[in-house]
Amino acid sequence: MSIVEVENVSKKFKSGKKDFFALKDVSFDIKKGEIFGLLGPNGAGKSTLLNILIGILFPDSGNVKIFGKNPLKNNDLFEKMNFVSGETRFHWALKVKDILEFHGRLYGIPKNKRITETKKLAKFFEIEHILENKFSNISTGEKMRLIMAKALLNNPKLLLLDEPTVGLDPDIAIKTRNEIKRINKKLGTTIILTSHYMHEIEQLCDRIAFINKGVIVDIGSVDSVKLRKFASYDLTIKVRSVKNREFLRRKGFLINGNILRKELPADENISETLSMLAEKGMEIIEIESRKPTLEDYFVKMLGDKK
Ligand SMILES: Nc1ncnc2c1ncn2[C@@H]1O[C@H](COP(=O)(O)OP(=O)(O)OP(=O)(O)O)[C@@H](O)[C@H]1O
Ligand SMILES: [Mg+2]
């Protein structure tokens, strides 16, 4: 079942006197339980797309369905969703505990559950010690942790995360990523995520869409999109002594002293190559392989566009 359906969505903004497309004819589906990443350079249209999904912005044309329904005509859908953005702000004078309490009420959580959930989330995101502090007096990272805690209060079935770990200490960022994965696995929460941290996308996302200038230019699993851009990668193997040179050359190895080099097709298994060398009686001392990362993919996608 598709949790999110986006069909030919376009959105124009004004820049000076001119209109431009922040999103142009964007279509994709997200299945239940997926973690879906939106990738793309600054100004690509990622936040605009998330803002349309949560009903902050209206598309100029096209349709959006969430849990099979039009969110603009079914406000109750928003009870099953939540949203995290680095840009979320609360009233400066509100205390952290009041912000959680207020949202707990807003989501209609009964009092007892509200208290236990707030305690649990405050402990998890390490904001227990600042519950009495005003929003204006807490640090950027603490704000982000509060926003994450707030977003999980209503146990959302669909969670939209716009750069959820920006500004967090590495240890809290790791915890947050683990938590994102945990709620996805344990509760089956469907998640849409934007991030400029490629390792985060690579670690978390089942599929990604690459957006550039409002257009989706690539979509698929992290492995499949990389494979489309990088057909091969370099493998370097140091052996104790080279045997069967002719055989190695036939297999495509370049030999330099006791170092063997080969360009492996991206979908070929290293272990087969290694066992083949072992069968020929070569002792492997060191292996180095440079598989393309999502960062390489990102740079190549932008390079290709230019
Ligand atoms: N309310 C608005 N009015 C006019 N232009 C806007 C508005 N909101 C966004 N834009 C423009 O639309 C484009 C897309 O912005 P958006 O915030 O969606 O980008 P993004 O992909 O989230 O970028 P980033 O990675 O920097 O967060 C940008 O050129 C931005 O300047
Ligand atoms: Mg953005």
Domain boundary assignment for the chain:
2-226, 230-305
- Mean pLDDT estimate for the chain: 92
pLDDT at 306: 57
φ, ψ of residue 159 in degrees (nearest 5): -120, 125
Q: Atom of ligand 1 at shortest distance to CA of 46?
A: 21
Handedness of CA 129, 135, 140, 144 (dihedral sign): positive
What global pTM score does this model have?
A: 0.84
Q: Quick one: pLDDT at residue 73?
A: 86
Q: Is the CB of 212 within 6 Å of ligand 1?
A: no
- Decide: 127 and 145 in contact? Cβ < 8 Å: yes
Is the shortest distance between the CB of 68 and ligand 1 below 6 Å? no
Give the domain 230-305 fold. Alpha-Beta Plaits (3.30.70)
* E strand spans, the chain: 2-15, 18-31, 35-39, 61-66, 81-85, 158-162, 190-194, 207-212, 215-221, 232-239, 254-256, 259-265, 284-290
CATH architecture of the domain 2-226 equals 3-Layer(aba) Sandwich (3.40)
- Residue range 7-33: mean pLDDT, rounded: 96
- d(CA 208, CA 30) in angstroms, rounded, equals 10
Top-ranked range on mean pLDDT: pick from 21-25, 71-75, 226-230: 21-25
User: What values do phi and psi take at 239, rounded to 5?
Assistant: -115, 160
Proximal ligand: closest to the CA of 57: 1
